Amino acid sequence: MLERDAPAGTGRGSRTPENVPVLTVDGLVVEHRDRGTGEVFRAVDGVSLRIDAGESAAVVGESGSGKTTLAMAATGLGPRGAGEIRLLGHSLATLGRRRLRELRPEVQIVFQDPHGSLDSRQSVRSGLREIRGLQRERTSWIDDAALLERVRLSPDLLDRYPHQLSGGQAQRVCIARALLMRPRLIVADEPTSGLDVSVQADVLALLREVRQTTGAALLMISHDLAVVRSVCDSVHVMRRGKVVESGPCETVFTDPAHAYTRELLAAMPGARWRARR
Ligand SMILES: Nc1ncnc2c1ncn2[C@@H]1O[C@H](COP(=O)(O)OP(=O)(O)OP(=O)(O)O)[C@@H](O)[C@H]1O
Ligand SMILES: [Mg+2]
């Protein structure tokens, strides 16, 4: 059996109830101005979704379909227009800056480029020390060596700088930094697409394990359906700013309702899925 992390106890700051959905997005619209033509367009166009505590949901779609824009808006980090977003039970529209800042540790983001996410001037240890300095109580549950072991890294790496880490190791450090906060929601935006194929599977296995051991919900963004299927319970298929199909992975992958989903599945390397006509 997998060892579970210590349950949330004291010292985690003000908490929101455990039973509210970690994220609900209702009719979200986000507009951007096209850098070339200067015209305003809807990068996210009326998207609704919900992620419950401990659930793992994916947003898939081709490049430019609006996945990152949706994730940034949903976590309060990017611009948002019409629609309602509730993060950990709080409406982003009415949440003041201070309260949003307090919620930040609960929502951790892992980006595609691990080296770009780490400060090149900081060793792994000093990066962790900085986070601990900002969130002393919240991060006291585990020491650095044990934290690295949680992401299957040797504590010997603590004194390395980012350029001395492989892509896979650097991404594990990013995941460790996220875990240190004991978040309620982890958003992983293409977490393996910047990595060598040989280490992608290891990082995905780690994300699966993180889900099981921490109980954190996961919002995984990917254009790779195989990645999504191996980690997530449910999937939202996005095309040109809209969600065209949502459902449990098993259903969407075996019996896709939308032609675009069928296209994505057919484009998967070694796709076994064949169109039902
Ligand atoms: N800050 C911005 N200003 C203007 N346009 C933007 C901005 N950010 C994204 N866009 C545009 O909005 C659309 C959606 O972009 P987004 O990054 O959300 O797509 P994505 O699905 O994450 O793509 P990818 O798979 O390539 O990461 C694209 O046409 C993109 O060029
Ligand atoms: Mg993106």
41 CA: nearest ligand 1 atom: 12
Q: What spacing in Å lies between the alpha carbon of 64 and ligand 1's midpoint?
A: 5
223 CA: nearest ligand 1 atom: 25
> What pLDDT score does 277 carry?
40
Best mutation site among 30, 32, 70 for ligand 1 pocket (most ligand atoms within 8 Å of CB): 32
Q: Crossing angle for the helix pair 167-180 and 197-214, nearest 10 degrees?
A: 10
Domain boundaries, the chain: 23-266
Share of the chain above pLDDT 90, in %: 69
Confidence grade of residue 5 (pLDDT, cut at 50, 70, 90): low
Q: What spacing in Å lies between the alpha carbon of 64 and ligand 2's midpoint?
A: 7
241 CA: nearest ligand 1 atom: 14
Confidence grade of residue 206 (pLDDT, cut at 50, 70, 90): confident
Least confident of 9-23, 26-40, 136-150, 170-184: 9-23
Best mutation site among 34, 69, 236 for ligand 1 pocket (most ligand atoms within 8 Å of CB): 69
What is the average pLDDT across 189-217? Answer: 87
Task: Name the residue with the closest Cα to ligand 1, atom 17.
Answer: 68
**Rounded Cα distance, 108 and 105, in Å:** 6
112 CA: nearest ligand 1 atom: 27
* More reliable by pLDDT, 53 or 275: 53
Share of the chain above pLDDT 70, in %: 91
> What pLDDT score does 270 carry?
62
| Fold of the domain spanning 23-266 | Rossmann fold (3.40.50)
Best mutation site among 42, 68, 111, 228 for ligand 1 pocket (most ligand atoms within 8 Å of CB): 68
Q: What spacing in Å lies between the alpha carbon of 68 and ligand 1's midpoint?
A: 7
> What pLDDT score does 267 carry?
83
C-beta atoms surrounding 248 within 10 Å: 12
C-beta atoms surrounding 129 within 10 Å: 13
Task: Name the residue with the closest Cα to ligand 1, atom 3.
Answer: 32
DSSP per-residue letters across 187-250: EEESTTTTS-HHHHHHHHHHHHHHHHHH--EEEEEES-HHHHHHH-SEEEEEETTEEEEEEEHH
